[in-house]
Structure 1
């Protein structure tokens, strides 16, 4: 659980830049006082990519591009429908309330 604050810091740096190289990200983190070993840095990038927050792709043999994943509107529509359905189910769980 100790990884969450560091993941948040890394994600906020990526989000602020929208797109940057891994080297630029490391420089930005170091400049703000956060230093990470390579294995920890790579694990955080992998975790953020698995969570669907970022996309990492290779530019050259030694350079990766890191960018924020754009959330599509379809997911928002689905969440909205889900929320409405949950509200209706919740209201329906109180029989006889509407009659009073």
Structure 2
């Protein structure tokens, strides 16, 4: 079973963390994943739409590609509510002692 080229491209971006589209294209070509420029751009667009990468223009002809990192904020009130609900649920069983 072959791995889709989109997964390979994403893995290369994830390994590097941040690189330009020219560097990425050279890496892929060097490893035998040569492709037309329009297909390369389509793969980048697909990954950006999926929310996996962020593409921004550096110059007129060069783009910066980065892995998109989602930072989840922890709401302390929600955490306290979850703990209370769990404690109340556990305490609702007869013979339960903690």
TM-score, with structure 1 as normaliser: 0.69
Aligned counterpart, 1:93: none
1:73, CA displacement in angstroms?
2.1
User: What is the CA deviation profile of residues 7-34 of structure 1, one whole-angstrom value per residue up to 9, with x for unaligned ones?
Assistant: 0000000000000000000011011110
Query: How many residues matched?
Result: 79
Higher helix share: 1
User: What is the CA deviation profile of residues 27-77 of structure 1, one whole-angstrom value per residue up to 9, with x for unaligned ones?
Assistant: 110111101101100000000000000000000000000010002224x99
Distance 2:31 2:70 in 1: 27
The gaps in structure 1 that reach 5 residues or longer are 78-100
Aligned counterpart, 1:13: 12
Q: SS where residue 40 of structure 1 aligns? A: helix
Aligned counterpart, 1:58: 57
Q: SS where residue 73 of structure 1 aligns? A: coil
- Does structure 1 residue 39 correspond to structure 2 residue 38? yes
- Which of structure 1's runs of 4+ aligned residues deviate more than 3 A? none
The gaps in structure 2 that reach 5 residues or longer are 76-98
Q: SS where residue 61 of structure 1 aligns? A: coil
**Larger radius of gyration, structure 1 or 2?**
2
RMSD (Å), alpha carbons: 2.5
Q: SS where residue 4 of structure 2 aligns? A: helix
Distance 2:16 2:51 in 1: 17
